[in-house]
Amino acid sequence: MIYFFCGAEKNASHYQRFIVEEALKQRGLDFTVTGNEIFHAYKWVAGWQLLNQLHRHRGQRYLCKGHWGHVIERRLLLSVQSLQVFLIWRHLRDVMISSFHFENNRRPPGYDSFADFYWSEGRQFFVRQLLYRRGWGKLAGHPRVFQVNFEDLKQDFPAHARRMLDFAGVEGVDLKALEDQLSLERMRQTRNDPKGKFFRKGEPGEHKDFAFPQDVLEDMHGLEARSSPMLNLVLAGVRGRRLVGMGPAVVRG
Average pLDDT over residues 221-250: 69
Residue scoring higher pLDDT (252 or 116): 116
pLDDT bucket at 138, cuts 50 / 70 / 90: very high
Q: In this model, does residue 239 exceed pLDDT 50?
A: no
Which pLDDT score, from 0 to 100, does residue 205 have? 79
Task: Give CA separation, 166 vs 162, 184, 227, 230, 247, in Å.
Answer: 6, 24, 36, 39, 34
How many other C-beta atoms lie within 10 A of the C-beta of residue 85? 22
Q: In this model, does residue 150 exceed pLDDT 50?
A: yes
Query: For 160-194, how does the pLDDT look when each residue is reduced to its tens digit (9 = 90+)?
Result: 999 999 999 999 999 999 999 988 677 777 666 66
Burial of residue 135, with CB atoms counted within 10 A of its CB: 0-12 exposed, 13-18 middle, 19 or more buried: buried
Residue 179, helix vs strand vs coil: helix
- What's the distance, CA 94 to chain centroid? 13
Residue scoring higher pLDDT (225 or 198): 225
Which pLDDT score, from 0 to 100, does residue 162 have? 97
| Mean pLDDT for the chain overall | 89
Q: Which helix (H) or strand (E) holds 54?
A: helix 44-55
Give the DSSP letter of residue 134.
H
Instruction: Assess whether the previous peptide bond of 109 is cis (omega < 30° from 0).
Output: yes
Q: In this model, does residue 198 exceed pLDDT 70?
A: no
Amino acid at 40: H
Q: In this model, does residue 247 exceed pLDDT 60?
A: no
Task: For CA atoms 32, 36, 42, 45, give the dihedral sign.
Answer: negative
Which pLDDT score, from 0 to 100, does residue 245 have? 40
Residue scoring higher pLDDT (194 or 25): 25
Distance CA 68, CA 77 (A): 9
Q: In this model, does residue 253 exceed pLDDT 50?
A: no
Domains of the chain: 2-236 (3.40.50.300)
| CB half-sphere exposure, 83, CA atoms < 13 A | 23
Bridge partners (DSSP) listed for residue 5: 65, 86
Average pLDDT over residues 131-151: 96
Which residues have a Cβ under 8 Å from the Cβ of 164 and sit 6 or more positions away? 16, 19, 20, 86, 146, 148
Q: In this model, does residue 45 exceed pLDDT 90?
A: yes
Bridge partners (DSSP) listed for residue 84: 3
Max distance between CA atoms of the chain, in angstroms, equals 54
Distance CA 9, CA 72 (A): 18
Which pLDDT score, from 0 to 100, does residue 250 have? 39
Which pLDDT score, from 0 to 100, does residue 58 have? 85
Query: For 72-127, how does the pLDDT look when each residue is reduced to its tens digit (9 = 90+)?
Result: 999 999 999 999 999 999 999 999 999 999 898 888 888 999 999 999 999 999 99
Q: Would you say 84 and 146 are in contact if contact means Cβ atoms under 8 Å apart?
A: yes
- Percent pLDDT > 90 in the chain is 75
- What's the distance, CA 53 to chain centroid? 24
